[in-house]
């Protein structure tokens, strides 16, 4: 964004002030994440940069907290990781199936009471999580599903479907319905048409909705806090307890792994978004 | 004309209009059937339980069921003087039954919500009632403790007679129904909830303002920079957006601690003395800083998606017509971004007003919000009906904000990523 040569001096100054403000805000946004990396390799138990670390002494760095995360005897991270992945994967599958099917119905121009139904379906995204947590806990307790994996998976399906519904309806809004009619006129049955024609075309939307659902489940702590028993502990619950009791470097090792995971998800989501926009002919 | 159109028939002899209507209806049913599985699922597991919260928040059947005879006998009592022997006898008979079922503890907890001081006198009554003689229960009960001879305690019991009550809602705004049935505020030093509501609004409001002030310039930069630079900078917004909330809170806990980097920096530039490092965590400052950073992407993304659609030629036109860059910005550019501002502010405000995790970790006692109080009653005091009532009050507030927003801007402006 180079300034034209004729810019007056006070606008020039203002322009640099503006760029400085932007730089400061970007720094505020991203810098906190980078504090975690070096400290997770700290050789000492304290969560401050030791003198050795400041002078880049190799002895001040170690992998002991990563070892502790994986092999530590009293650390529940293994169980938590397993649970988190099981719950998130099943919750994602459930959200994607229910959400995509519903989105297909919602984008039909024949759909009655569209506004009302849409409001009900995306309400779990609008209602504050703590209220969802209380309500879902009452239901699961009555249904005998509290402190079970199934209960938590169902709860995360509730929280994840709105994202799938929104992303898939958005993708379908640019969808050319004449291709499904063409398929039907060529003798394809509706299921076949969906699998062979519609799904491949809306797949980027479905996957990015699925990513939202996955992250929602994988990072969800408020509802799980109400629902989980000792056996159902997840990574966010362990982080929550750890942060409340004592901030240990092991948590930072876990946090580093989570940042790497979220980077991977971000890259996937970005690539999908671009592909989807290209397919929908939006060139920005 | 209409008679002519009616005569159009399809190949199987049915009028076209009828045939089309039938097809239309079939399509409607088809579309609806696709939505049914999710709709049912959400209604049963989510909408009904919120209704259940409503029932729980006004439900007061527990005491009504525990003291059936007492309340029956109390119907004739005017509630001014001490009740007659009949009421005492009925209460005694109900109470004996509760002691047999070991439920008198629950009764004392419930009555204690209405008036403090029931716990000890019910415990005492349980001990003494074993040696009670038949008849003249009024004298015997009153002899157990002087509070049993105090009419206020009997009035408190009578107030629990109805099966439904709004007292939990009153408690949520620090009010209660007194002996004469008037709704009054609790003494000033015990008004904890009003402070919390106000603080929740205050923090949500200022977090929204801070987010707006910080997001506007960077969203503008992202929207006006050439693609190859803006994509790179967009990562700075999206990476925090996709990163776990707990990870981001953890990083603030490291930064804001007394020996943390932020304090180190302040000491380094000589702003504060090394031995006088300020507390930046476990108070309101912690909540403000962490929540602003965590919610900032939710403000940037809607602003960006609106700004992206504004053509740069509009600003140029404004300038070429003689406006200074500031005037062109204020009169042309800014009004066009209002839908984005509305969507971003709504999103951030509503997320902030229901925030729980971050304030609980970095907010300390002075930085916690209404959500923390709800969680506290769900998990610690187990007063679920009160938690439900507070939750529904919060929900009503959130829905009201949505409604106003929908009237002003239209809900369709919310976009994801």
> SS3 letters for chain B?
CHHHHHCCECCCCCEHHHHHHHHHHHHHHHHHHHHHHHHHHHHHHHHHHHHHHHHHHHECHHHHHHCHHHHHHHCCCCCCCCCCHHHHHHHHHHHHHHHHCCCHHHHHHHHHHHCCCHHHHHHHHHHHHCCCCCCCHHHHHHHHCHHHHCHHHHHHHHHCCCCECCHHHHHHCCEEECCCCCEEECCHHHCHHHHHHHHHHHHHHHHHHHHHHHHHHHHHHHHHCCHHHHHHHHHHHHHHHHCCHHHHHHHHHHHHCCCCHHHHHHHHCCCCCHHHCCCCCCCHHHHHHHHHHHHHHHHHHHHHHHHCCCCHHHHHHHHHCCCCHHHHHHHHHHHHCHHHHHHHHHHHHHHHHCCCHHHHHHCCCCCCCHHHHHHHHHHHHCCHHHHHHHHHHHHHHHHHHHHHHHHHCCHHHCCCC
Checking DSSP bridges between strand B175-177 and strand B183-185, what pairing results, if any?
A: antiparallel
List Cα–Cα distances, B63 to B86, B146, B161, B179, in angstroms. 19, 23, 7, 18
Which residue's structure tokens are 């009960």? B141
- b or e along B344-373 (b: 16 or more beta carbons within 10 Å of the residue's beta carbon)? bbbbbbbbbbbbbbbbbbbbbeebbbbbbb
CB atoms within 10 A of CB B180: 8
Q: Residue B278: helix, strand or coil by DSSP?
A: coil
Q: What is the pLDDT of residues A99-120, one digit of tens each?
A: 999 999 998 888 888 888 988 9
- Residues of chain B with C-beta less than 8 angstroms from the C-beta of A243: 246, 249-250, 253, 361
Question: What's A76's DSSP letter?
Answer: T
CB atoms within 10 A of CB A145: 19
**How far is B333 from A228, CA to CA, in rounded Å?**
49
Cross-strand partners of A168: none
E strands, B66-191, in order: 175-177, 183-185
Can you give the pLDDT at residue A37? 84
- Residues of chain B with C-beta less than 8 angstroms from the C-beta of A177: none
User: In chain A, which among 222-241 make CB contacts under 8 A with chain B?
Assistant: 222, 225-226, 236, 239-240
- Chain B nearest-CA distance from A272, in A, is 12
Using pLDDT thresholds of 50, 70 and 90, give the confidence band for residue A220: very high
User: In chain A, which among 129-168 make CB contacts under 8 A with chain B?
Assistant: 129-139, 142, 154-155, 157-158, 161, 163, 165-167
Q: Residue B7: helix, strand or coil by DSSP?
A: coil
Nearest CA in chain B to A128: B354
For B416, residues 6+ apart whose C-beta sits below 8 A from its C-beta are A163, A166, A167, A170, A212, B301
The segment(s) of chain B belonging to CATH 1.10.3720.10 are 192-413
Task: Check if the beta carbon of residue B350 is closer than 8 Å to that of residue A128.
Answer: yes
Cross-strand partners of B184: B176
- Chain B nearest-CA distance from A105, in A, is 4
Task: Check if the beta carbon of residue A91 is closer than 8 Å to that of residue B5.
Answer: no
Cross-strand partners of A29: none
In the predicted structure, residue A122 carries a pLDDT above the cut 70: yes
Residue of B53, B221, B261 lying closest to A135 (CB–CB): B53
Q: What is the pLDDT of residues A46-105, one digit of tens each?
A: 777 777 777 777 777 878 788 877 777 667 888 899 999 999 999 999 999 999 999 999
Residue range B192-413 forms a domain whose CATH class is mainly alpha
Using pLDDT thresholds of 50, 70 and 90, give the confidence band for residue A2: low
User: In chain B, which among 273-302 make CB contacts under 8 A with chain A?
Assistant: 293, 296-297
Task: Check if the beta carbon of residue A12 is closer than 8 Å to that of residue A3.
Answer: yes
**How far is A120 from B39, CA to CA, in rounded Å?**
8
Cross-strand partners of B15: B9
Interface touch B325/A11, C-beta < 8 Å: yes
**Dihedrals phi, psi of B409, to nearest 5 degrees:** -115, -30
pLDDT string in tens for chain B (417-residue length): 445 555 677 777 788 888 888 888 988 998 899 999 999 999 999 999 999 999 988 888 888 888 888 888 888 888 778 888 888 888 888 888 888 888 888 888 888 877 888 888 888 888 888 788 887 888 888 888 888 888 888 888 888 888 888 888 888 888 887 767 778 888 888 888 999 999 999 999 999 999 999 999 999 999 988 888 888 888 888 899 888 999 999 999 988 888 888 888 888 888 888 787 888 888 888 899 999 999 999 999 989 988 988 888 888 888 888 888 888 888 889 988 988 898 899 889 999 998 889 999 988 888 888 999 999 999 888 888 899 999 999 999 999 988 888 777 665 555 444
Question: What's B44's DSSP letter?
Answer: I
Interface touch B254/A35, C-beta < 8 Å: yes
- Residues of chain A with C-beta less than 8 angstroms from the C-beta of B347: none
Domains of chain A as residue ranges with CATH: 82-279 (1.10.3720.10)
Can you give the pLDDT at residue B416? 46
CB atoms within 10 A of CB A135: 29
**How far is B400 from B406, CA to CA, in rounded Å?**
10
For B122, residues 6+ apart whose C-beta sits below 8 A from its C-beta are B104, B107, B108, B111
Q: Please provide the DSSP assignment of B296-336 as one string.
A: HHHHHHHHHHHHTTS-HHHHHHHHHTT--HHHHIIIIIHHH
User: In chain A, which among 87-126 make CB contacts under 8 A with chain B?
Assistant: 98-99, 101-102, 104-106, 108, 110-112, 117, 120-121, 123-124, 126
Please indicate whether residue A135 or residue A115 has the higher confidence score (pLDDT). Answer: A135
**How far is B239 from B262, CA to CA, in rounded Å?**
22
Does B248 contact A at CB distance below 8 Å?
Answer: yes
**How far is B386 from B176, CA to CA, in rounded Å?**
13
E strands, B99-149, in order: none
- Comparing CA positions, the residue from A215, A203, A204, A209 lying closest to residue A261 is A215
Does B260 contact A at CB distance below 8 Å?
Answer: yes
Cross-strand partners of A42: A61
**How far is B28 from B17, CA to CA, in rounded Å?**
16
Interface touch A112/B35, C-beta < 8 Å: no
Interior angle at CA B398, CA A140 and CA B237, nearest 5: 90
Model-level pTM?
0.85
For B155, residues 6+ apart whose C-beta sits below 8 A from its C-beta are B79, B179
> Which pair of structure tokens corresponds to residue A184?
């039907």
Interface touch B297/A117, C-beta < 8 Å: no
Q: Residue B182: helix, strand or coil by DSSP?
A: coil
Please tell me chain A's helix, strand, coil percentages from 3-state DSSP, rounded to the nearest 5.
75, 0, 20
Residues in chain B: 417
Q: What is the mean pLDDT of chain A?
A: 86
Q: What is the CA radius of gyration of chain B?
A: 32
Task: Check if the beta carbon of residue B114 is closer than 8 Å to that of residue B120.
Answer: no
List Cα–Cα distances, A228 to A158, A193, A212, B169, B354, in angstroms. 16, 41, 22, 29, 21
- Chain B nearest-CA distance from A280, in A, is 17
Cross-strand partners of A129: none
> Which pair of structure tokens corresponds to residue A1?
């964004």
Can you give the pLDDT at residue B387? 93
- b or e along A92-127 (b: 16 or more beta carbons within 10 Å of the residue's beta carbon)? bebbbbbbbbbbbbbbbebbeebeebbebbbbbbbb
Cross-strand partners of A185: none
In the predicted structure, residue A284 carries a pLDDT above the cut 50: no
In the predicted structure, residue A198 carries a pLDDT above the cut 70: yes
């Amino acid at each position: 964004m180079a300034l034209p040569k004729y810019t007056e001096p006070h606008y020039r100054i203002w322009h640099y002030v503006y760029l400085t403000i932007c730089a400061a805000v970007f720094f505020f946004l991203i810098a906190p994440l980078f504090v975690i990396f070096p400290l997770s390799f700290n050789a000492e138990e304290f969560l401050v940069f030791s003198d050795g670390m400041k002078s880049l002494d190799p002895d001040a760095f170690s992998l002991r907290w990563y070892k502790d995360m994986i092999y530590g005897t009293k650390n529940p991270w293994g169980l938590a990781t397993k649970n988190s992945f099981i719950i998130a994967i099943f919750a994602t599958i459930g959200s994607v199936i229910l959400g995509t099917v519903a989105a297909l119905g919602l984008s039909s121009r024949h759909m009655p009471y569209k506004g009302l139904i849409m409001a009900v379906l995306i309400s779990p995204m609008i209602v504050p999580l703590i209220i969802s947590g209380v309500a879902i806990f009452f239901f699961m307790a009555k249904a005998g599903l509290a402190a079970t994996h199934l209960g938590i998976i169902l709860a995360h399906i509730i929280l994840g479907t709105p994202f799938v519904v929104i992303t898939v309806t958005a993708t379908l809004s640019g969808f050319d319905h004449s291709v499904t009619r063409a398929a039907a006129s060529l003798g394809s049955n509706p299921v076949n048409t969906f699998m062979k024609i519609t799904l491949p075309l809306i797949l980027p939307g479905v996957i990015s909705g699925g990513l939202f659902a996955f992250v929602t489940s994988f990072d969800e702590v408020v509802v799980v806090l109400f629902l989980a028993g000792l056996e159902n502990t997840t990574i966010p619950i362990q982080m929550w307890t750890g942060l409340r009791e004592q901030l240990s470097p092991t948590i930072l090792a876990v946090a580093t792994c989570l940042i790497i995971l979220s980077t991977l998800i971000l890259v996937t989501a970005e690539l999908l978004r671009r592909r989807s926009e290209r397919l929908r002919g939006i060139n920005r | 004309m209409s008679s002519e159109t009616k005569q159009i028939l399809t190949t199987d002899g049915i009028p076209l209009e009828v045939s089309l209507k039938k097809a239309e209806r079939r399509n409607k049913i088809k579309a609806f059937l696709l939505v049914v599985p999710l709709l049912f699922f959400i209604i049963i597991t989510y909408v009904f339980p919120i209704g259940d919260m409503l029932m729980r928040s006004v439900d007061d059947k527990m005491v009504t069921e525990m003291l059936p005879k007492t309340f029956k006998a109390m119907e004739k009592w005017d509630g001014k003087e001490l009740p007659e022997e009949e009421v005492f006898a009925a209460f005694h008979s109900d109470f004996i039954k509760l002691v047999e079922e070991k439920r008198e503890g629950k009764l004392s907890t419930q009555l204690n919500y209405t008036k403090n001081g029931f716990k000890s006198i019910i415990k005492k009554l349980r001990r003494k009632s074993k040696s009670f003689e038949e008849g003249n229960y009024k004298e015997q009960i009153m002899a157990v403790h002087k509070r049993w001879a105090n009419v206020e305690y009997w009035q408190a019991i009578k107030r629990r007679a109805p099966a439904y009550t709004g007292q939990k809602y009153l408690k949520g705004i620090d009010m209660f129904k007194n002996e004469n049935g008037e709704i009054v505020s609790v003494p000033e030093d015990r008004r904890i909830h009003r402070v919390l509501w106000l603080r929740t609004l205050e923090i949500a409001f200022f977090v929204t303002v801070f987010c707006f002030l910080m997001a506007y310039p960077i969203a503008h930069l992202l929207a006006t920079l050439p693609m190859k630079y803006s994509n790179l900078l967009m990562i700075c917004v999206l990476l925090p957006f996709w990163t776990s909330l707990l990870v981001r809170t953890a990083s603030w806990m490291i930064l804001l601690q007394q020996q943390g980097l932020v304090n180190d920096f302040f000491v380094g530039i000589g702003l504060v003395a090394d031995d006088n490092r300020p507390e930046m965590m476990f108070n309101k400052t912690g909540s403000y800083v962490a929540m602003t950073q965590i919610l900032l992407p939710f403000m940037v993304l809607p602003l960006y998606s609106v700004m992206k659609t504004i053509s740069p030629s509009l600003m140029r036109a404004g300038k070429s017509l003689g406006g200074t860059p500031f005037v062109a910005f204020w009169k042309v550019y800014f009004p066009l971004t209002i839908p984005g501002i509305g969507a971003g502010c709504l999103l951030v405000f509503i997320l902030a007003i229901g925030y729980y995790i971050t304030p609980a970790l970095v907010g300390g006692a002075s930085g916690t919000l209404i959500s923390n109080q709800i969680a506290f009653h769900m998990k610690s005091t187990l007063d679920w009906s009160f938690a439900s009532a507070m939750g529904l009050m919060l929900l009503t507030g959130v829905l009201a904000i949505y409604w106003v927003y929908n009237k002003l801007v239209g809900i369709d402006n919310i976009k994801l990523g």
